[in-house]
Amino acid sequence: MCQLLGMNCNVPTDIVFSFTGFATRGGRTDEHVDGWGIAFFEGAGVRHFVDYEAAIASPVAELIKRWPIKSKNVIAHIRKATQGRVALENCHPFVRELWGRYWVFAHNGDLKDFSPQLTGAFRRVGTTDSELAFCYLLQELRKRFGDTPPALPDLTAAMRELTAGIASHGTFNMMLSDGTALFAHCSTQLHYIVRQHPFSTAELSDEDLSVDFSKVTTPNDRVAVIVTSPLTSNERWIPFASGELKVFVDGAPLAL
């Protein structure tokens, strides 16, 4: 299956360190070679990069490793195809507009007998179950709340119900963000870490690379990183429970 990477922060932060280790799993230390993608929120806009080449061989991935784009919410994905051919339109993350803002979504898993009817503005471009699930999520949120975006507690309650329903069709590890919060749902495997003062040195598991975060941060910075499998070998990553939905805001999970 695929792998997911997300970052949620209280100040704009670059994801170069984490993405460098994550991209290595796209063909060198793991077998996720059927494309990759990443999306960065910047104000009301989104920088969105996808490629059907393996992340380890993609010139675009090399650009992202060397370009410290700063964002408060980032979602990345490396693909091992289960549904849908290897093609650009099937690369995650996917982007759509709802309530006058962009939403970014990525999925790891395989959904069986999942064929909801899409009746509104949200339609698939590619052929993945993942994009279908994304369109269905937005369609159902629009049905429930109309043209007015709900308060975060109401949105969270709706997301918990909808993700549980989709997960009943198979594996549904997913990340979704509108640039203000990052939702992460776990069926089988997700981990997270919150880095904050006092910062220390982190060492990647998939690359011979480390960074002393105390030298590149301020005492007020806080960064949550969410990933399928832990990226570093010397930090304590917290596993999600199966069926758990977490919401990250300003670099920390909310108490739900």
For the annotated catalytic residues, the residue numbers are 2
**For residue 85, what are the contacts with CB-CB under 8 A and spacing of at least 6?**
127
**DSSP assignment of the chain:** --EEEEEEEEEEEE-HHHHHHHHHTBTTSSB--S-EEEEEEETTEEEEEEESS-TTT-HHHHHHHH---EEEEEEEEE---SSS-SSGGGPSPEEEEETTEEEEEEEES-BSS--PPP-SS---SS--HHHHHHHHHHHHHHHHHTTSPPPHHHHHHHHHHHHHHHHTTB--EEEEE-SS-EEEE-SS--EEEEEESSP-EEEBSSSS-EEEGGGS--TT-EEEEEESS-SBSSS-PEEPPTT-EEEEETTEEPP-
What residues pair up with 54 in beta bridges, in sequence order?
Answer: none
Q: How many Cα atoms within 13 Å fall on the side-chain side of residue 24?
A: 15
